[in-house]
Each structure stands twice: as C-alpha cells, then as structure tokens.
Amino acid sequence: MSKLMGLLVLLFTFESFAQLDFCNADLETFPVQAGGRDKPFYVLATEGIRFISGDAKVGTLTATEAFCQLTMKGFGIPSEIQINIKVDHPEVKTLLRLQDDESNIPATSLANKMGLIEAELVRIKENNSYRKELNKVDQRYKTYLAITQGRAWTIPVAKNNTVHFVSAAEFLTKEKVLDATKKSQSPVQYIFEQAKNEYLKVKGDGYLLELKYYKWNLFLWSMLLSLIGIFLFVVLKNKLPGTIITVLSLAVQVSAMAMRVMISGRAPVTNMYETVMFSGFGALVIGCIITLMRKEKAFVIAGLAFNFLTLMMMKFANGMLDPGISPLVPVLRDNFWLSTHVTTVILSYAALALSWVLANSILIRSRFFKIDSKEHRYQVDLIYTCIKFGVVLLATGVILGGIWADYSWGRFWGWDPKETWSLIVLLIYMAILHGKSTSWIPPKRFVPLVAAAFLTVMMAWFGVNYILASGLHSYGFSEGGALFLGSFFLIQILLLLVTTLKINPQAEQFP
C-alpha cells in the first residue's frame, strides 16, 4: 500500500498525466492480453465497458478513454468519470431499490449494496433468472473493480525475445516512473510507448488486424448491400445491378469472415454469433448456387433476405449474440471437424431458412395478393428444391457429428439435446417430404407446414441453448435468447393463423 501511495504522490507531480491526456485514442493500438489472446487495447476496453454498462461509451468518453480513466482513477488520479452498472431483472432492481424505468446503477452506489447481492446469492439455491442476473451484476461489479484496481489491463513485458504480460498495477512501479521522468515530460506515456515498441519488435503488429476488423464494420456494409440487392432484384427487371450488388455483398462478407478466421485461428462457427453469421452467408451462397442451376432469382432474393435478417441480428442483438472472440473448450479445438460437421449443419439450416422465407412469402402473397394455381405450384417446387438441399446437408451434418463424437468421446450417438434436436429437424422435414406424396399434405398444406417446420430448426439452433441449456454442446450457451425465440415463435404462429385460418378463395384452387 505504501508503495502505491508513493507512486500516487509521484504521479501527481506530472501535470500532463494528472489531466489524463494520456487516455486518448492513441491507446487503441496498445497490445494487451485478455481471454487467452493478444489483442488491441480498443477491443479489451470496448468489451469490458460494454459488459459493465451495456454501452460502448461512458457519457462523451469512448470505451478506450473510459477504461483508461477508470484504471488511472484507481491509481488516485482525479477524474470525473462515473460508470453505471447495467441491471436488467425487475427483482434485482427491486432489491437495489431502483425504479422500473432505471436500467443501471452507479458503480459507486452499487459498492454499498454488494452485501445484499452476496446474501441473495447465498439464499437463492435455484438457478433461476433472478439468480443468474444477480450473478451477472456481481460479475459486472467485479470487472469494474478489476479495472479500477489495475488488474484488467495487462501490459506486455519483453525479455529474451519473448513477451509475457503483467497487470497495470504490477507494471507501473515508482522506479519505472522515476526513471522515465529523466527521459520524457510525459513519463507514463513514455513507459507505455516503450512497452508497445518492445512488443512490436518481438511479436509484430499482427494483433492490429482485430482493430481493423472492428473499426471497418464490414458486416454492416454487407447488410446494407444485401438490402440494396433485394431492392434491385424486386424493383428492376434487369438482373445485372442486383447480381453485382449481391456479389459485392458476398465479397465484403467473405473479407470480414476471413479476418475473423485469421484472428481466431479457427472456423467461424464456434458460438451463436458466428453460427448466425455463417448461416446468413450460407443462405446467400446456396441461394446463388440454386439460382444458377434453376435460372430462378427467387432463391437469391430469399438468400439476400435471410442474410439481411442475420446481419441485423448480429448488429442489434448483442445482448444475445456476443461478438467477442473467446477461447474454445478443448474438445472443440479441432479445425477439421469444426469445418466439416458444424459448417454442414449450419449450411443445412441456411437451406431450410430459404424454404422458410419462400414459404412465408407465398403465404403472405396468397393471403393479401393474387397468386394463380400455376404460380403456386411453381413456388411449391422452389421450396421443395430448398428442402432437398437442406435435408441432404442436414443428414450429412448429423452423421459427421456422430463420427466426430465417436472419434472424440467414443460414442456415435449419445442422445445429447443438440444432436437429438438436429435429428428431430431431419425427421420433421422427412415427414413433410414423405407426406407430400400422400393425400395428407396437398400443396395448400405443404406451404404452411414448411413455414411451421422451421420452428424446429429454431428450436435445435437456439432453443436447445436458450431453453433446454444442458448437454455436451453447452459451449455455445448464452443468455437473453429466450425472449427472441419466444417472439419468433409467436410471430410465426400469428402469421400462420392470419394466412391460413381464413378460408382463402385463392387457396381453394390449390388442391
């Protein structure tokens, strides 16, 4: 403690540091280590501040400035910064005496109420949503403490051509600052620059790719291009502009995914965020392939539409889909199986998503617009094509999963919820394909059934993780998705009711 106090007294003597000029945008490129990887300070700060407050900014300060100021505040440097800690659950709000419309609490106020949270965590045995939120608030506060105590920010120390990382609290010693005062007017900045330069000499600047990945926001551009592509295909008769924009959207998305692969060193299908990303991309690719085979633009429009939806989720549903790149559990560290089993299953979901988009578009058109029986039959055939792609890919994916499980765990099939639900999806679509040849599923029933069958895909994809939440595939588990899934189910069921319950004169024509 006396060592820290000595350092504080020393730091106060340097005006530039005391005014926190040091905490600026230049720090974004500073190398740190977190989550098992070297990354730019920008990523650490953004992820940390967003986790605590639910926002990437603190007032007018960027995440980089806020993270730095909070750390330096821990060293006793005066700062006006006040960060609020996110609180979502109504019962937790009541516990912390927050109003219903308040969704956060100042960290300084929460410090006095942590005893309440700890007591509740001991009292509540059941792992319900209240306990989960208590845990989350506890983790957010601990992250805040780690930042303000200088433990969250790791600094590279190069020695004998290797680099190891130490916490800011350990790194910023009185001796170092005293020594730096002889060389620079801004000693702390000088120390950090030296550390960064030493790091760059040993490990290079490869870690800065992640900064470009986040700053360039390529998925946002791809989302806008997908939207423009849909517009061009629907409005213009000439397919060329839409085709160019689609290719451009794919190229941008491939670039973003390639960057992510280079950063993580693995196939981009290891968590919910990545599977959503890959499914949209896969739907567009499959849509383009079938379009080329069948000379029918409906597939590429459906692909663009689903891709747009998934990119929207990635952009706006960060509470549910964590964009961070985290270490994998040991059993998943096999790029061959990740690149085969998981990608095949996600591609199958993508193909089935195309059938879902087409089925819903026919339902809406049949209900609210005119569609003749020939067109209806043609559209049913388009859906059928997508389902066949989906079923073949899903069967392959499920079997590849069995082989991987046999190779890694010694059993081909273990009734794990994820694999069981994949099988359920396969069975449901097989039942539809078989039933299509019977009197049970005529074309007028086929379309709503396909739209409804996609709910099983959503259950296998999201429901197992957000609702059932157990089993060997627990690596992809995240919270906040139950509401999304419930809303999706509700909207789809309402759409089915609206489009099928009322006797549609058009539907009568489609036996």
Partner 1 sequence: MNSLKRTYMYIENILASLKFAVFIILVFAICLGFGTIMESSHGTDYANRYIYKSLPFMAIQFCMFLSIVFAAIVRLPPKKHLYGFYTIHAGLIIIFIGSFVTYQSGVDGSIKLNPNAASREVLVSREEFRIKFPSRGKEASIDLPYSASGENLNTNYQGIKLGTFIPFAEEKLEWRPGKEVAPSSRYRIHNDKVSEELFFSLNSKARFGQSRKLGPLNVHYMPNKKQANNKTPVLLLHGKVASYFDKVTKTWVRVTLNENKDTPLPWMGLKLRLLEHHEDIYPEMVPYYVDPVQDNGKIIKGSLRAVHVTIGNHQFWVRSTEPTTFNFGNELVHLEIAKKQLTLPYEIVLDRFKMDLDPGTQTPASFESFVTVFKGNKGSEKHHIFMNNPMKRDSFTFYQASFFPISEELFGSILSVNFDPGRTWKYLGSLLLVLGSILHYFLRRKHKVSNTEFA
Q: Please identify, using beta-carbon distances, which residue of 55 and 120 lies nearer to partner 1.
A: 120
Contact call for residue 406 and partner 1 (CB under 8 A)? yes
Greatest pairwise CA separation for the chain in angstroms = 90
State which of residues 29, 33, 129, 264 lies at the interface with partner 1 (CB under 8 A).
33
Number of residues that bind partner 1 (CB under 8 A): 58
Q: How far is the CB of 412 from partner 1 (least distance, A)?
A: 5
Query: What is each CA distance from 20 to 25, 173, 339, in whole angstroms?
Result: 12, 18, 46
Q: How far is the CB of 336 from partner 1 (least distance, A)?
A: 9
Q: CB-based contacts of 314: which residues, under 8 Å, 6+ apart?
A: 219, 273, 276, 277, 321, 323
Q: How far is the CB of 419 from partner 1 (least distance, A)?
A: 10
Query: What is each CA distance from 171 to 187, 205, 360, in whole angstroms?
Result: 14, 22, 59
User: What is the per-residue binding string for partner 1 in 140-179, x denoting contact by CB under 8 A?
Assistant: --------------x----------x--------------
Q: Please identify, using beta-carbon distances, which residue of 344 and 499 lies nearer to partner 1.
A: 344
State which of residues 9, 440, 490, 508 lies at the interface with partner 1 (CB under 8 A).
440
Residue 378 CA to chain centroid, in angstroms?
A: 37
Contact call for residue 471 and partner 1 (CB under 8 A)? yes
The answer to whether 71 and 44 have CB atoms below 8 angstroms apart is no
Q: How far is the CB of 114 from partner 1 (least distance, A)?
A: 14
Contact call for residue 109 and partner 1 (CB under 8 A)? no
Q: Residue 373 and residue 370: Cα distance in Å, rounded?
A: 10
Contact call for residue 435 and partner 1 (CB under 8 A)? yes
In one-letter notation, the amino acid at residue 348 is S
∠ CA(376), CA(380), CA(381), 5° rounding?
120
State which of residues 470, 483, 497, 508 lies at the interface with partner 1 (CB under 8 A).
470
Contact call for residue 139 and partner 1 (CB under 8 A)? no
The answer to whether 75 and 17 have CB atoms below 8 angstroms apart is no
State which of residues 254, 469, 482, 495 lies at the interface with partner 1 (CB under 8 A).
469
Stretch that binds partner 1, among 181-189, 317-325, 361-369, 385-393 (CB under 8 A): 385-393
The answer to whether 153 and 67 have CB atoms below 8 angstroms apart is yes
Q: Are strands 154-159 and 162-167 parallel, antiparallel or unpaired?
A: antiparallel
CA-based nearest residue to 325, from 265, 255, 256 = 265
Q: Per CB under 8 A, which of residues 306..345 are in contact with partner 1? A: 327, 329-331, 333-334, 337
Which residues are registered as beta bridge partners of 62?
A: 57
Q: How far is the CB of 478 from partner 1 (least distance, A)?
A: 15
Contact call for residue 44 and partner 1 (CB under 8 A)? no
Give burial (CB, 10 Å; 0-12/13-18/19+) of 207: buried
Contact call for residue 486 and partner 1 (CB under 8 A)? no
Q: Please identify, using beta-carbon distances, which residue of 73 and 266 lies nearer to partner 1.
A: 266
The answer to whether 69 and 23 have CB atoms below 8 angstroms apart is yes
Residue-by-residue DSSP string for 421-443: HHHHHHHHHHHHHHHTTSTTS-H
Q: Please identify, using beta-carbon distances, which residue of 36 and 78 lies nearer to partner 1.
A: 36
In one-letter notation, the amino acid at residue 8 is L
Q: How far is the CB of 154 from partner 1 (least distance, A)?
A: 6
The answer to whether 242 and 284 have CB atoms below 8 angstroms apart is no
Contact call for residue 437 and partner 1 (CB under 8 A)? yes
Q: CB-based contacts of 228: which residues, under 8 Å, 6+ apart?
A: 245
The answer to whether 397 and 404 have CB atoms below 8 angstroms apart is no
Stretch that binds partner 1, among 75-83, 168-176, 205-213, 410-418 (CB under 8 A): 410-418
Tokens describing residue 93: 């709000």
Q: How far is the CB of 297 from partner 1 (least distance, A)?
A: 20
The DSSP secondary-structure symbol of 370 reads: -
Contact call for residue 386 and partner 1 (CB under 8 A)? no
Contact call for residue 374 and partner 1 (CB under 8 A)? no
Residue 346 CA to chain centroid, in angstroms?
A: 15
State which of residues 276, 423, 447, 507 lies at the interface with partner 1 (CB under 8 A).
423
Contact call for residue 202 and partner 1 (CB under 8 A)? no
Q: Please identify, using beta-carbon distances, which residue of 69 and 344 lies nearer to partner 1.
A: 344
Q: How far is the CB of 231 from partner 1 (least distance, A)?
A: 32
For partner 1, the binding residues (CB under 8 A) are 33-37, 119, 122-123, 125-127, 154, 165, 327, 329-331, 333-334, 337, 388, 391-392, 395-396, 399, 402-403, 406-413, 415, 417, 420-421, 423-424, 427-428, 430-431, 434-435, 437-438, 440, 464, 467-471, 474
